[in-house]
Structure 1
Amino acid sequence: MVVSGGLLVSGQVLYARYAGAVNQQSLFGNKPPGAAPRKVNIKGPLNILLVGIDPRDANTAPLSDSIIVAHIPAGLKEAYLFSIPRDLLVEIPPFAKTGFNGGTAKINSAMSYGSSVGNGKHDVAQGFELLAKTVGRLTGIQEFDAGAIINFGGFKKIVEAMGGVTMTIDQDIKSEHLQPDGKPRPRYPSCANNQCAHPYYGPQAQYPKGTHHLEAWQALDVVRQRYGLKRGDYDRQINQQKFIKAMAKQALSQKVVTNPAKLDGILRAAGESLIFDGQGHNVVDWGLALRGVNSENMTLVRLPGHSVFSGTGKNRDYQGEALDPSAQEFFAAVRDDTITTFMVNHPEFINRNS
């Protein structure tokens, strides 16, 4: 959206400058020998898989902390964003590249199971391939038309270049990770290697209910929180969707697209933050194709679900999350591109606080 907005203002100079700025890699796997590369026609309906990860080096298996699918119906004038819970229990298919035999696990581990390239090294792009297959199996989406890996640390740079972001928070939030001044909260010495549910102590950054203009570190902190929220990870998913919508609205404002210096900074920060696979098209081509989509015609979708436990009483152990059966009806509407009708008939899927 930022790219398309800038191009409408500044023309082909920006195209030449930013078409190759984003790191473009194959995220959906190598094609069989002799097979022609798939090149999608950027016409709706479209499904784009967006995955957010925390910064990790090549020696650490990546985990997908945020999984969002953007469905753009035919006509390319609106978008529906829905999140897949990171702790959702799913069937992860076998993956020959890493020798993974498949099995039931939390969906955020699919990227990890698919990322190993030997010698203790990991490749997030290869991990994305198995995650895409897993999400496809869950939703019935046979092939995604584009995909992106978003580095949360790089996202912070984008928001800094934008001068912060204005976002509405629908419940009071306390940070698990940061102090009021943005510095990390100290960790209990006995909680090394994430062995404790709440390993931090001391003063917490707080974000009261309401509309606020957040600095970059605050915005990123808000979308990372799940502890203390009324519906845990489900509310965090909604905050992440709202963050994307708020960024889109601000990025397309006249204060950005008509400000060459600010626009340049945002696009360069985006280039450092993304790994993109446009299935034969670069990010600028996609930006132009989707220029009719803006923040006002984005619908944020809340998938119904519940937590899964084993045992009873005090012996209950949290296993993960499960979606309600009605989610399968929603996925069918995505596949058939009848999602607009589905949402009219099932308004409970719409996030009313967006």
Structure 2
Amino acid sequence: MSLGSGTGRRGRLLIGLLLAAVVLVTVGGVVISRLVGGPSPERAAAPAPTSATNTPAATPSSPPPPPGADITGPLNLLLVGVDTRVSVPGWEPHADAVLVLHVPRGLGRAYLFSLPRDLLVDIPAFPKAGYRGGRTKLTHAMSYGSRAPGRAKQPSAAQGYELLRSTVSGYTGLRIDAGAVVTFAGFDRLVDSLGGVDLYIDQRVASRHRQPDGRHRESAPGGYTGPQMVYEKGNRHLTGWQALDYARQRYISGGDYSRQRHQQQLIRALVGKILDQGLARDPDRVQQVVDALSDTLIYVGGRKLIDVAYALGGLPADRFALVGLPGRSVGSGGGYRGEQLTSVGRRFLTELRAGRADAYLAKNPSLRIKP
């Protein structure tokens, strides 16, 4: 079937949406349903993500070019899960999880890596929010940027994303071409519409948030109370709420680094299932999954979401590399200040910008996360 057909087009779009969006709904965002596009002017180290080719004009005898046909890469997406509580007046959103998807020129390869939420970084001044700049944890970039000084307005996560994007661009040296902050809404339905997901759980994980029957645990001073859902080590089949709950847990052995690994493994498993099931050949199933995403993403600015998603739709599943960047805690006077990447982790970013990521991963195989 040609890519110009309705079924093939929707199937290709679905895979691209998962690469650009499933990442988002698994990492912990709970409020904002918004995709923010546009290049970051700060430290634009990589070339522009779209390279206009001489795409032939449509003729009566040929179908029009697919959306995003002129996107050739490289492409960097900033994917953010936000810890925020709209029911609390004045609550400032924090970046609870920060992932970067780097797709080199040609769009035939992708690297997904996480940055620790407590990574010590230089956050640039942001006059729009009255922030003068400083060195602190990455998670605070979202909250500092979200402020609306002198105005009786709720903090804006979309505005906070702008400062987070500048901060990540400055730290990684990558031009951030688009990004997203999304809600949990739709994720349960997304996974369930696929019939759940099969995942190898690499360590025992006890949930802080859910009971074994899926009900939320009651909040209490100092934590949560009630029986806990436990994910035992081994091959498991997870429903929608279980997959989301499992990917959120960070008070486990390995802390946030283990959570980063689990999120990436879940993303890879979902993408693999879509490819294995051949959903592009099943228009009804495709529509179910697309409907599950419909209330999760709203695109604002930049290239159209359909263009980016369709451009990524041809990425082979076995060329989707999960990368874990090692780090360690930083202290001052016996107190915890945050995290920093090891020299091996920082060097990966250098090699990634230079187009030598595969060679570096071959020399440092421990950086690869097993699906």
- Output the CA distance in 1 between the equivalents of 2:328 and 2:35: 35
Please give the alpha-carbon distance, in whole angstroms, between the structure 1 residues aligned to 2:103 and 2:197.
24
On the 8 A contact 2:40/2:166 being kept in 1, the answer is no
Distance change (3 Å), C-alpha of 1:39 and 1:309: closer
TM-score by length of 2: 0.79
CA positional deviation for 1:170: 0.6
Supply the AA of the counterpart residue of 1:154: G
Residue of structure 1 aligned with 2:320, choices 283, 293, 298: 298
Q: Distance in 1 between matches of 2:227 and 2:168?
A: 38
Q: Does 2:274 correspond to 1:243? A: no
- Secondary structure of 1:83's match? strand
Identity %: 40
Q: 47, 57, 81: which is aligned to 1:52?
A: 81
1:228 aligns with 2:257: no
Pick aligned residue for 1:252 from 262, 275, 280: 275
Unaligned 5+ segments in structure 1 are 32-37
Which residue, out of 124, 128, 139, partners 1:93?
124
Q: In structure 2, do the counterparts of structure 1 residues 165 and 137 end up closer, same or farther at CA, with 3 Å as the change threshold?
A: same
Q: Given the superposition, is the C-alpha separation of residues 145 and 112 from structure 1 closer, same or farther in structure 2, using an over 3 Å criterion?
A: same
Pairing 1:284–2:317 present: no
Of 337, 347, 352, which residue of structure 1 is paired with 2:365?
347
> Structure 1 residues 81, 184: CA separation in 2 closer, same or farther (over 3 Å shift)?
same
For 2:257 and 2:35, the matched residues in 1 are separated by: 30
Aligned to 2:95: 64
Residue by residue over 1:7-62, the C-alpha shift from the partner in whole angstroms, topping out at 9 and shown as x without a partner, is 7661568899xx9xx9775445899xxxxxx8833213222111122564395322
The amino acid that maps onto 1:247 is: L
Matches within 5 A, 1:1-354: 10-11=7-8, 26-28=36-38, 40-41=50-51, 42-54=71-83, 56-57=85-86, 59=89, 60-117=91-148, 118-141=151-174, 143-188=175-220, 191=221, 196=222, 199-229=223-253, 231-254=254-277, 256-276=279-299, 279-280=302-303, 282-312=304-334, 317-351=335-369, 353-354=370-371
Question: What RMSD over aligned residues (CA atoms) do the two structures have, in Å?
Answer: 3.0
* Cα distance change on mapping 1:99 and 1:7 into 2, 3 Å: farther
The superposition leaves residues 143-184 of structure 1 with CA deviations (integer Å, 9 ceiling, x where unpaired) of 212212232343233223323222111111111111111111
Residue correspondences, number: 325
Q: With structure 1 as the length reference, what TM-score do the two structures score?
A: 0.82
Aligned residue for 1:300, secondary structure, equals strand
Kept in 2: contact 1:147–1:278 (CA 8 A) = no
